[in-house]
Chains A and B, each alone.
Chain A
Amino acid sequence: MTNALDILTLRAGYGAINVLWDVSLSVETGKTTVIVGPNGAGKTTLLRAIMGLVPATSGDVRVDGQSRKAVKTWDRVADGLVMIPEGRMIFPDMTVEDNLMMGAFPPGCRRDWKRNKAMVMDMFPRLAERRGQIAGTLSGGEAQMLAIGRGLMEQPRVCLIDEPSLGLAPVVVDEIFRILARLRAEGLTILLVEQNTSRALKIADHVYLMQSGKVVLSERGDRVDLDRLHALYFAHETAA
Chain B
Amino acid sequence: MSNSLMNRILLAVALAVAYVGVPLVFGGNAYVLGLIVAALTIAGVAVAWALLGNLGGMVSFGHAAFFGVGSYTSAVLAMKLGVPVFAAMLLGGLGAAVSSIAMLPALRLRGPYFALAILAYAHIFQILATEMTPITGGAGGLLSIPRFPTVLGFDFGDKTGGYLIVLTIVVLAALAYDAIRRSTWGLALKAMHDTEVATRVVGVPSTHLKAAMLVLSAFITGVVGAFNAHFISFLDPDYAFSSGWTVLPIAAAIFGGYRTVWGPVVGALAIYLVDQLLFKPILPHGHQMILGVLLCAMILFSPGGLMPALSRRPVKENRHAHA
Contact = CB atoms under 8 A, between A and B. Distances in A.
Contact of A77 (B187, B190, B202): B202
Contacts of B194: 91-94
B216 interface: no
A139 to B, nearest CB: 19
A234 interface: no
A85 interface: yes
A23 B187 CA distance: 37
A106 B198 contact: no
Contacts of A101: 184, 187
Contact of A94 (B190, B197, B204): B190
Nearest to A92: B194
Contacts of B188: 102, 105
Contacts of B191: 91, 94, 102
B153 interface: no
B190 A154 contact: no
Given A91-B195, A92-B194, A93-B194, A102 B201 contact: no
Interface in B187-217: 187-188, 190-191, 194-195, 197-206
Interface in A57-113: 72-75, 77-78, 82-83, 85, 89-94, 98, 101-103, 105-106, 109-110
Given A94-B191, A98-B187, A102-B191, A89 B206 contact: no
A154 B202 contact: yes
A130 B119 CA distance: 45
A121 to B, nearest CB: 18
Contact of B203 (A85, A93, A94, A105): A105
Q: Which of B188, B190, B200, B206 counts the most chain A CB atoms within 10 A? A: B200
A72 B202 CA distance: 12
A77 B203 contact: yes
Contacts of B206: 74
Interface string B59-81: 00000000000000000000000
A51 B194 CA distance: 19
Q: Which of A51, A91, A110 counts the most chain B CB atoms within 10 A? A: A91
B198 A74 contact: no
Interface residues of B, number: 17
Given A94-B187, A101-B187, A105-B184, A53 B203 contact: no
A74 B194 CA distance: 17
Contacts of A82: 201
Contacts of A206: none
Contacts of A103: 202
Contacts of B203: 73-74, 77-78, 105-106, 109, 154
Contact of A150 (B184, B197, B202): B202
Contact of B201 (A75, A78, A85): A85
Contacts of A73: 200-201, 203
A102 B205 contact: no
A82 B199 CA distance: 12
Contacts of B184: 101, 105, 110
A93 B205 CA distance: 20
Nearest to A101: B187
A74 B246 CA distance: 34
A53 B200 contact: yes
Contacts of A75: 205
B204 A89 contact: no
Contacts of B200: 51, 53, 73-74, 77
28 contacts: A53-B201, A73-B203, A74-B200, A74-B203, A74-B204, A75-B205, A77-B202, A77-B203, A78-B203, A85-B198, A89-B198, A91-B194, A91-B195, A91-B199, A93-B194, A94-B187, A94-B190, A94-B194, A98-B187, A102-B191, A102-B204, A105-B188, A105-B203, A105-B204, A106-B202, A106-B203, A109-B203, A154-B202
Interface of A: 51, 53, 72-75, 77-78, 82-83, 85, 89-94, 98, 101-103, 105-106, 109-110, 150, 154
Instruction: Give me the 10 closest cross-chain CB pairs, A-B, nearest first.
Output: A77-B203, A106-B203, A74-B205, A73-B200, A91-B191, A89-B198, A74-B203, A83-B201, A91-B194, A105-B203
Interface of B: 184, 187-188, 190-191, 194-195, 197-206
Given A93-B190, A102-B187, A102-B199, 18 more contacts: A53-B197, A53-B200, A73-B200, A73-B201, A73-B203, A74-B203, A74-B205, A78-B203, A82-B201, A83-B201, A85-B198, A91-B198, A101-B184, A102-B204, A103-B202, A105-B184, A110-B184, A154-B202
